[in-house]
Amino acid sequence: MIWSFGGPLIDAKISYNGTLRGLAGRVKFPDGLLVYDYYYDPMKQQWALWSERVKPFDPNFDGLFSNLVVPTAETNRQKFLIDVHRKTRKGLLYVGFAGTGKTTIIKDYFNSVDKEITVCSSMNMNSYTDSKALQTVIESNVDKRMGKIFGPPSGKILMFFMDDLNMPKLDKYGTQSPICLIRQIIDYQLVFDREHLEEKKTIQDVMFLGCLNPKSGSFTIDLRLSRHFTMIALGTPDKEILNTIFHQVLQNHFKNFDNTFNNYAKKIVDATSVVFNGIALTAQFMPTAKKFHYQFNLRDFTRIVQNVLQAEA
């Protein structure tokens, strides 16, 4: 119930926490934090914190800064949820505003998943994406098994990620052809041959993941599709998570500097957080019809830290 009913909540998480604790009966959650912060450890037969499963930050990362992922309790529990859905082949849909880490979480999972049993593919949707383009990408990731049956290599599952799922434009009937195609594959496991429409192709062992921004595109997707997904809402990371992420990154960078810089990492993160929240949460800087570009999110915070990392000892 924590994630089935409570997954789509953001502002109501605190009230849902109290409701769930009241309904739990003989199941006693630990006090102090929200029920979202705990998981049940079957080995120890007790509740444990997600934060206790977080792996330490790898300071030897040498890729692009945009691809850097610092493990937190949030990324840890979301990767666990994705893995549970992979085993049951149930779709998973992340909903959240820009900069909440929806795409980052899924791509980080793709980088760590066992490639012996999983094939990962993704597609960024936009207003010009149609069902034909989507079908072409899906068919390029499956092989012919027998007859008209297609799927990933034997023994594997295709995890197909669709970014900005609600971006395709509406047609004159108020529908979106890519959305209808996804629903068709989930419901009937088939597509029609584009060259010979009388022929059908069966698509097997495909799991869909998606994310959408409720402030862009068509804002929502067809309920006939969303019913097939577990919906998880992601909000703006709180101050504790921001400190966990950026403090470790800056602390690692400043280790090559003079010892006087040891305490600067926390001060820079705290100061940036104060300024960022002062702008992002102030009515004066809220987006309007004339100032629609006033969109402040975690990406702006990240760019500041990225620029600090350009400094050399």
Strand partners, 123: 162
Percent helix, strand and coil across the chain, each rounded to 5? 40, 15, 45
Q: Looking up tokens 């594997």, which residue turns up? A: 156
On the question of pLDDT at 69 being above 90, the answer is: no
Express each pLDDT in 190-231 by its tens digit: 999 999 989 999 999 999 999 999 888 788 888 899 999 999
On the question of pLDDT at 179 being above 90, the answer is: yes
Which of 64-73, 180-189, 283-292 is the most confident on average? 180-189
Q: Which pLDDT band, with edges at 50, 70 and 90, does 70 fall under?
A: confident
On the question of pLDDT at 163 being above 90, the answer is: yes
Please give the angle made by the CA atoms of 128, 133 and 135, to the nearest 5 degrees: 140
Instruction: Tally the residues of the chain.
Output: 313
* Arithmetic mean of pLDDT, 72-88: 93
What is the pTM assigned to this prediction?
0.89
Mean pLDDT over all residues of the chain? 89
Task: Give the SS3 label for residue 31.
Answer: coil
Structure tokens at 53: 């499963």
Cβ atoms 71, 55 nearer than 8 A: yes
* Arithmetic mean of pLDDT, 59-67: 75
* Arithmetic mean of pLDDT, 110-137: 94
Q: Which domains does the chain have, with CATH numbers?
A: 1-53 (no CATH), 73-233 (3.40.50.300), 239-308 (no CATH)
Structure tokens at 170: 């509406």
Of 241 and 101, the one with more pLDDT: 101
